[in-house]
Amino acid sequence: MAGALEEPVLVATKLHVPSVRPGFVVRAALVERLVAELGGKLTLVCAPAGWGKTTLLSEWRASPAEPRPFAWLSLDRGDDDPVRFWAYVIAALRTVQPQLGAQSLAQLPRAATSLVDAVVAPLINELAPLEEPLVLVLDDYHLVRSETIHESIAFLLRHLPAPLHVAIASRADPPLALAGLRAAGEITEIRAADLRFTDEEADELLNGSLGLGLEPGDVELLRARTEGWAAGLQLAALSARPLEDRHAYVQSLAGDDRQIGDYLHEVLAEQTPELREFLLRTSILDRLCAPLCDAVTGRNDGSERLEAVDRSNLFLVSLDTRREWYRYHQLFADLLRYELSRAEPELASDLHRRAAAWHRERGNVEDAIAHATAAGDFAGASELIARHWRPVWSGGQRETVARWIDALPREVVLGDARLCLARGWAALYGDLPECDRWRSAAERAPLPAPFRDGSASVEEAVAMLEAAHANLNGDVGRALAAARRALARIEDRSSPAQTIANVHLGMAAYYAGDLAAAEAALEAASRTRVGAEWASVSVTALGNLSAIQLETGDAEQAERTLAETERAMDELHAHDAPFACRAWLARGMLCEHYGDTAGATAAYDQAVRLARAITSRLVTAHGLLQLAALDRRRGAHVEARARVREARRVVEECADPGVVAELLTRAERALQLAPAQRAAGALPARVELSERELTVLRLLGTSLSQREIASELYVSFNTVKSHTRTLFRKLGVATRADAVARARALELL
């Protein structure tokens, strides 16, 4: 699934452990420290670019004193998506233990917001009994911004299985709640200060590998000048290398406060014009191979050039054992890019276009989109996104879709209904109001090119998103209307769109109380076969259908339908998938029907938990009310009331809750929940206050105490207290300030 975006070969480059280059200075003391950390959970190597983090970790792995195998993952910007991130982590772990993570991988696409339960916890259980310990390396962790990912890694660290040790290399301190681990002595930390080259190490680098033949005094000078920064030393040394009088040059650096960028400029100036041109042009690439370099430079000497760069110690890192893929050290690439934009500013766009074309031809969607965007080829990027967003979204990588679209200028997105819609779908499970705003934007947006995802028209696609949104948001009337609009627009009755529209219609009709219409729509939907990417839809449809069949009195049919639903859930590993909430609700209802209270409670609990994860309000409220009824029946009235109050809070967020509103009022009456005991914040529809009450209210808005108010009005203190209590009840508030504010809002004052 992660491979759907990139060739397997490219995936392999992310898992490749960088080898220790001959000529690299081995940081023996540091490696010894890392090998010796026993009983620690985490090794954190935290320093800015160019201090030698990756090198240190690869030296640690290569050390003869370190017996454990390493599972290595080099992170990219694109891995900032929880589903993709964990797919790669599992892939990395599989380089050591090939059988690991099958269940987690299967559940990943549907995990949505229950990542920890569905993916991380099973993985931890699989790792725990392993006999051979191993190390998981996450390189360039600073590229991860997603809170979901941080939480899942923090969870992993809190419950770390004994055989696993985690090593993170990052340019910034990761937000992983490390204070606790630090206090418990579970972290081995290596920071910039630790990574500084000593004079001995500097000597080994400058006079050993680079053979500069410098005197000790000069070595010290360079070391001090660069403050022991590996990349700085390397670049300064490279700029000194071609000179006759290196001593004089090093001396001149002493009083100089030039920055690293100047050294690069000199190093570049020393290369042949052809090699310089090669370096600058290929700097736009995240990863390089000879054919790609040729495509970008427009020549056919990529192989030789790469070899030359490699030989010259020019910061080229090998990404596999076949000498096929490379990348530049991040720092070097950044500097090259700045140089390119300074020297030939118009060229970069063209180079990106060529790279985009090369990747597009090979089906590397992620890279193609990135380069098209960087080239300013927004039409090209839009086409790629329009074509590929749907399967990526269905595979659970919503944040990837969001990231692609967010990288485009706002005007471009608002000028393309397809992009607005995709962005709306990406927001559906996390931010309902934002999803609705995107739907609205899609309605107004033009369609500059045809749909590539199977949608027939803007009206149909917008109606579909609107129905999905309204069903989650608790607006039954709107969902019904939108689903019907979508159905009216669909010409191809056998298309997936028809099925999906019917499911939305069925779900909405169910909560609208029209069981006949709901059953018809859901039956129609369940009869057609949809592709794998819409399989989640059949679970929802069948689950809801089962509930309807039970409610219309056919328990046996309901059982059969539920069995079918659960078979589908098994196949899709969807038991913890949020969209299965309606299926769990149906299971609860069936259990209840057969008197299995315990089973019913568990099923309703699961339904509510999953429904909350995607803000499916009506299912949440419905589940809570079912649980409340069970509580009431066993005499647990306090719990029952609490659940009903919660259900009311949820229902109040719904613009049109349909029959759930009825269910709620019935439950409130059964538990004798008087209006005053409804959740504070409930705005009463009509409030009538007596003259007396109004008078008291006005005075409550002053700074007079209740005793003083009583004195003002020539009544007893108890009378004022009584009026105040009544006021609070009628206005649905609990404080004086709230009472006054609410009264003003209702224009009573």
Q: How far is the CB of 369 from another protein (least distance, A)?
A: 15
**Three-state secondary structure call for residue 265:** helix
Do residues 148 and 179 make contact, with C-beta atoms less than 8 angstroms apart? Answer: no
Which one, 405 or 583, has the nearer CB to another protein? 405
Shortest distance in whole angstroms from residue 444 CB to another protein: 11
To another protein, the closest distance from the beta carbon of 261 in angstroms equals: 4
Q: Name which of residues 50 to 79 contact another protein (CB under 8 A).
A: 50
Cβ distance to another protein smaller for residue 33 or 265: 265
CB of 197 closer than 8 Å to CB of 182: no
CA distances, 427 to each of 58, 80, 143, 243, 399 (Å): 39, 16, 22, 58, 9
User: How far apart are the C-alpha atoms of 192 and 194, rounded to whole Å?
Assistant: 5
Interface residue with another protein, options 18, 109, 174, 232 (CB under 8 A): 232
Please select the residue that binds another protein; options are 146, 330, 677, 695, rule is CB under 8 A.
Answer: 330
Nearer to another protein, 314 or 476 (CB): 314
- Looking at residue 601, its amino acid is T
Residues 417-476 that bind another protein (CB under 8 A): 423, 434, 437-438, 440-441
Smallest gap from Cβ 48 to another protein, in A, equals: 5
Minimal distance, residue 529 CB to another protein, in Å: 36
Instruction: Please say which residue, 152 or 234, places its beta carbon nearer to another protein.
Output: 234
Cβ neighbours, 10 Å, residue 66: 16
Q: Which of 90, 331, 392, 644 binds another protein (CB under 8 A)?
A: 331
Window 258 to 287, contacts with another protein (CB under 8 A): 258-262, 264-265
Among 158, 182, 191, 342, binds another protein (CB under 8 A): 342
Residue 229 or 429: the one with the smaller Cβ distance to another protein is 229
Q: Does 257 bind another protein (CB under 8 A)?
A: yes
- Reduced 3-state DSSP string for 470-526: HHHHCEHHHHHHHHHHHHHHCCCCCCHHHHHHHHHHHHHHHHHCCHHHHHHHHHHHH
- Report, in Å, the least distance between residue 334 CB and another protein: 6
DSSP per-residue codes, 138-160: EETGGG---HHHHHHHHHHHHT-
Buried b (16+ CB within 10 A) or exposed e, 435-446: bbebbebbbebe
313, 341, 457, 557: which one contacts another protein (CB under 8 A)? 341
Give yes or no for residue 493 binding another protein (CB under 8 A): no
Nearer to another protein, 413 or 490 (CB): 413
| Per-residue interface string for the shown chain with another protein, residues 350-389, x marking contact by CB under 8 A | ----------------------------------------
| Closer residue to another protein, CB minimum distance, 433 or 477 | 433
The residues in 34-53 that bind another protein, with binding defined as CB under 8 A, are: 48-50
Return d(Cα 422, Cα 389) in angstroms, integer. Answer: 7
- For residue 338, the minimal CB distance to another protein (Å) is 4
CB–CB of 740/700 below 8 Å? Answer: yes
Which backbone phi and psi does 134 adopt, to 5 degrees? -150, 165
From candidates 204, 339, 576, 693, binder to another protein by CB under 8 A: 339
Choose, by CB under 8 A, the member of 231, 372, 572, 733 that binds another protein.
231
Binds another protein (CB under 8 A): choice among 410, 672, 685, 686: 410
Q: Residue 401 and residue 423: Cα distance in Å, rounded? A: 7
Q: Shortest Cβ distance from residue 171 to another protein (Å)? A: 7
What are the CA-CA distances from residue 549 to residues 427, 519, 527, 590, 606 (Å)?
33, 8, 16, 10, 21
Q: Which pairing describes strands 316-318 and 70-74: parallel, antiparallel, or unpaired?
A: unpaired
Query: Is 698 exposed, middle or buried, given 0-12, 13-18 or 19+ CB atoms closer than 10 A?
Result: middle
Nearest-approach distance from CB 191 to another protein, in angstroms: 14
DSSP state, residue 189: E
- The CA angle 112-113-115, to the nearest 5 degrees, is 85
- Answer left, alpha or beta for residue 177, where phi above 0 means left and psi between -120 and 50 means alpha: left
334 vs 605, which CB is nearer to another protein?
Answer: 334
Residue choice 90, 190, 405, 463 for contact with another protein (CB under 8 A) = 405
Query: Which alpha helices (H) appear in 576-635, and where do they start and end?
Result: 581-593, 597-613, 617-633
CB atoms within 10 A of CB 636: 14
Complex with another protein: residue 160 or 260, whichever CB lies closer: 260
348/535 Cα distance (integer angstroms): 43
> If binding is defined by CB under 8 A, does position 255 make contact with another protein?
no
Nearer to another protein, 171 or 692 (CB): 171
Taking the complex as a whole, the smallest distance from the CB of residue 422 to another protein amounts, in Å, to: 12
Q: How far is the CB of 111 from another protein (least distance, A)?
A: 24
Shortest spacing between CB 46 and another protein, in angstroms: 12
To another protein, the closest distance from the beta carbon of 342 in angstroms equals 5
- Measure CA of the first residue to CA of the last residue in the chain; give whole Å: 61
Q: Residue from 310, 334, 533, 712 that binds another protein (CB under 8 A)?
A: 334
Q: How far is the CB of 682 from another protein (least distance, A)?
A: 30
User: Does residue 194 belong to the site contacting another protein (CB under 8 A)?
Assistant: no
Q: In terms of CB distance, is 402 or 660 closer to another protein?
A: 402
Site string for another protein, 604-643 (x = CB under 8 A): ----------------------------------------
Task: Give 687-696 contacts, CB < 8 A, sequence gap 24+.
Answer: 687/730, 687/731, 687/746, 687/748, 688/730, 689/727, 689/730, 689/743, 689/748, 692/723, 693/723, 693/726, 693/727, 693/730, 694/748, 694/749, 696/720, 696/723, 696/724, 696/727
Give the pair of three-digit tokens for residue 652: 């109040």
As a dihedral over the C-alpha atoms of residue 75, residue 80, residue 86, residue 91, rounded to 10 degrees, the angle is -30
User: Which of 338, 443, 496, 721 is the binder for another protein (CB under 8 A)?
Assistant: 338
Tally of residues, the chain: 749
- The residue assigned the tokens 């300074």 is 342
Whole-number minimum distance, CB 132 to another protein, in Å?
37
Q: How far is the CB of 206 from another protein (least distance, A)?
A: 19
In 3-state terms, what secondary structure has residue 289? coil
Q: What single string gives the DSSP state of each residue in 18-82?
A: PPPPTTPPP-HHHHHHHHH--S-SEEEEE--TTSSHHHHHHHHHH-TT--S-EEEEE--GGG-SH
Q: Pick between residue 128 and residue 269 the one whose CB is nearest to another protein.
A: 269
Nearer to another protein, 135 or 414 (CB): 414
In angstroms, give the least distance from the CB of 238 to another protein: 15
Min dist. Cβ of residue 319 to another protein (A): 20
Which range of residues in 257-265, 491-499, 531-539, 595-603 is near another protein by CB under 8 A? Answer: 257-265
Residue 242 corresponds to which tokens in the numbers above? Answer: 């071609």
Residue holding tokens 């001090």? Answer: 224
Candidates 16, 33, 94, 171; binder of another protein (CB under 8 A) is 171
Interface with another protein (CB under 8 A), residue total 36
- Decide if 286 contacts 13 (C-beta within 8 A): no
Q: Does 335 bind another protein (CB under 8 A)?
A: yes
Region of 64-72, 290-298, 398-406, 714-722 interacting with another protein (CB under 8 A): 398-406
Distance between CA atoms of 94 and 12, rounded to whole angstroms?
A: 12
Which residues of the chain form contacts with another protein (CB under 8 A)?
A: 48-50, 171-172, 229, 231-232, 257-262, 264-265, 330-331, 334-335, 338-339, 341-342, 402, 405-406, 410, 413-414, 423, 434, 437-438, 440-441
